[in-house]
Structure 1
Amino acid sequence: MEDNREQLTVSSSDIPSDVPSDVPLKNDLPPVKSKGCKVHEFMIQLLKKQVQDGKLELERSLRRKKEENMQDQASQTEEEDLKEEKEKMQEQASQTEEEDLKEEKEKMQEQPLRRRRKT
């Protein structure tokens, strides 16, 4: 059967020049779709949708990760800022405490001098 089909195939060199050029050759004919092709088309559409859904899910996942990273960085920065602020406050408190102690010490040293002068 296939041998017969091959014999029926017409090439452009086999066509006499008096045949109009608008007569389609075998290769120019549109493909004939069988019922099985509808199933294939459906499967292709389904696969395309799954690919699109996969891309969307991947985008969402990447966006979520990016947001989580940004939040982590923000919280890290906030923690560092709080730590620095705490250190500054402790340093200021210790400086103030030192100054207060110095002033107290000076006052205590002045008091015996005043008492001595009075006597």
Structure 2
Amino acid sequence: MILAGSFIYTTKYKIHDVASYTSPDGKYELLFQQVGDPDWPFGHTHARLVLQDEKGTIVKYSFDIAADGANASPDLCQVTWKATQVEAVISDEEQNDNQYILYFNGKTESNQLDTRFGI
């Protein structure tokens, strides 16, 4: 029972930190995390962005990456800090780039772009 529970936790729920980005003023941090393992054998990778400030978590935004069963890597994420938000563009080989906007007030927005790996 413990072995089965441990396997399920590791493959479905365990958080793997992929990358961390700090705003230029040092007030905010954006975490890029993988949730569990990619779907087997060539499925989606489950990921999330977590925006934090010195008080704690502002917002979490979950999404899937079509990466042919590969783990998430820092190379997939491009981050731009703005006055009221942080913008993260997630790129992979199997889908168009996706832009995720996390506002410092807790709101979120997402857009599918017409580019792949910024091209």
TM-score bucket (shorter structure): under 0.3
For the pair shown, which has the larger CA radius of gyration, 1 or 2?
1
So what's the TM-score if we normalise by structure 1?
0.18
Name the structure where strand makes up a greater proportion of residues: 2
Q: Tell which has more relative contact order, 1 or 2 (C-alpha 8 A, sep 6+).
A: 2
Name the structure where helix makes up a greater proportion of residues: 1
So what's the TM-score if we normalise by structure 2?
0.18
